[in-house]
Structure 1
């Protein structure tokens, strides 16, 4: 996640108050907010000219923008980030609501059923898309990887863990590789990862694919992709449950046919969403990606709010919701956090 450029200490208290009111109004109505509306809702005795000046300052700082000439303003991703980091008042959940959520995760049998029900619970209480990744379990450490060239441009990736487990994965490549090329790539990966926990190796491989791929030669890039696949196989089924995708059709900014098709394709393919959840598994507490902070263009108009869940005092997965950037953060954040706590408690009871 990114932080507000320059910090919120450069935004006056009055400007922060205006930004908070503007965002709360925009979240509620989904319409650009004009100066006259802001003047009434802030409760401040200010002239129209003063209000316009404050709004111009916020726009100059990149915190709001004007969709059309002479229209009101809407928050930018940077404005939402400042709101979340410094201006947000999280709403406490009522005890009755928590009790109702707890009942939905009680006595549901195996972990897979609990995970699926948790995604349905999230989508139901937030009216957004709920997503819960399948638990990741410990499979020892990375000991050694080898690549063997097969016919037809295929490569066999072989991973050996510290527990002595052997995992194989056949990968189709875009060209044939010489044994010497594959051996050199394997030696490089072994030097980087031998002895490291598989979770850490997986996170590093995902990060390398995203941030350093332009600096890798072709062989090493292909090797990292193959290693990522076999490490995923070693960790178990790489999957997540997603519920409530159709809730997103209720938001005008996401409701175009092409936009929904792109989003639903991402929900079906899942890899980008799983990579995002992977980035949160080592973090503590609620994490929030606003718009472009996710790094995935398909989610530029969306926010993702996540929280880790665990079992036996160990984090084994992440859950969250996906919705428009104007989602109701004060309510969504505690709902995601509470669902993670309830899922953790339910898994411990098994």
Structure 2
């Protein structure tokens, strides 16, 4: 029973410190929470929590603040992520449904996450290498040029214009047959295996059209292997300025780390490797593998197999609210991109 009571005390300390940013003393705990025990018992529980490294005294005052380990235990012992209200879910859906293209989806998502959590919002653009083909269109654009349009399940559109060495505006039936064959073999397939999966196309076209098919396949392979699409979008870095005192080291180091998109891509990738697509990963303080971000916490999840999103902020974060918001927004983003 004492362990459960101490967990209640820790939970109360975390909640009060997140709300007030002031060290929490036993007197304020008794005033704000129905702990059902005496002041002496609360002080004893706080002493045990401090011995266990879950809370600490920032200075000589009687107040205590949670440590990274304390936040970790708090997060791990959450019985469940509190669901968002119907009004909150409706507002999210309405805001994101207004997006007109992928860039708008990403922009709206980061702005929404930042606004709802008051943290820095980070979103990875859908990765082509982890996307699947929705449709391939072949469009003669004059002379010997052919436009190849690759549309993937996340809504990304890649275009390539290639010289095929013949005027296909005069051969619409050839274009139609090749288009049908390419889509038959690629739709629903991961882009990472498209090149290998379409190698047999050359055997299914007449000899006179094999050179044409090879040009189209080469262009698709280039699109599938493209690496420059790995991008990150951010919003709300100004939120960190409001809580600059929460960072024991220079806030500028955190901001510089956030500008390193390679670091964020790796961070999103490592945290988004979740067995449960609806799970939310939380990395707290020193748990972060990148030194400049070890004064921050990251809450992230996936919005499907193609990318991740989340928020970055101080360890003094409202974890239940951030986790619920990240999960809800990811759900709506996945629905929009899969729709």
Partner of 1:286: 280
Partner SS, residue 63 of structure 2: coil
- 2:297 paired residue among 298, 303, 322: 303
Matches for 1:113-152 after TM superposition, within 5 Å:
113-138=104-129
Partner of 2:313: 323
- 1:85 paired residue among 65, 68, 76: 76
Partner SS, residue 109 of structure 1: coil
Structure 2 portions without partners, runs of 5+: 132-190, 194-223
In 1, the alpha carbon distance for the partners of 2:321 and 2:73 equals 17
Please report how far the alpha carbon of residue 38 of structure 1 lies from its aligned counterpart in structure 2 after TM superposition.
1.7
Q: Does 1:345 align with 2:335?
A: yes
Structure 1 portions without partners, runs of 5+: 1-8, 141-196, 200-231
Please report how far the alpha carbon of residue 81 of structure 1 lies from its aligned counterpart in structure 2 after TM superposition.
0.7
Partner of 2:267: 276
Please report how far the alpha carbon of residue 298 of structure 1 lies from its aligned counterpart in structure 2 after TM superposition.
1.3
Q: Of the two, which has the highest radius of gyration?
A: 2
Partner of 2:237: 245
The answer (yes or no) to whether the contact 1:27–1:327 under 8 Å persists in 2 is yes
Indicate how the Cα distance of structure 1 residues 246 and 255 shifts in structure 2: closer, same or farther if over 3 A, else same.
farther
The answer (yes or no) to whether the contact 2:246–2:316 under 8 Å persists in 1 is no
Matches for 1:189-200 after TM superposition, within 5 Å:
none
Q: Calculate the TM-score normalised by the size of structure 1.
A: 0.65
Q: How big is each residue's C-alpha offset from its partner over 1:279-310, in whole Å with a ceiling of 9 and x where there is no partner?
A: 12321321100111112221122111011012
Stretches of 4+ aligned residues off by more than 4 angstroms: none
Indicate how the Cα distance of structure 1 residues 263 and 198 shifts in structure 2: closer, same or farther if over 3 A, else same.
farther
Q: Calculate the TM-score normalised by the size of structure 2.
A: 0.67
Please tell me the root mean square deviation across aligned C-alpha atoms, in Å. 2.5
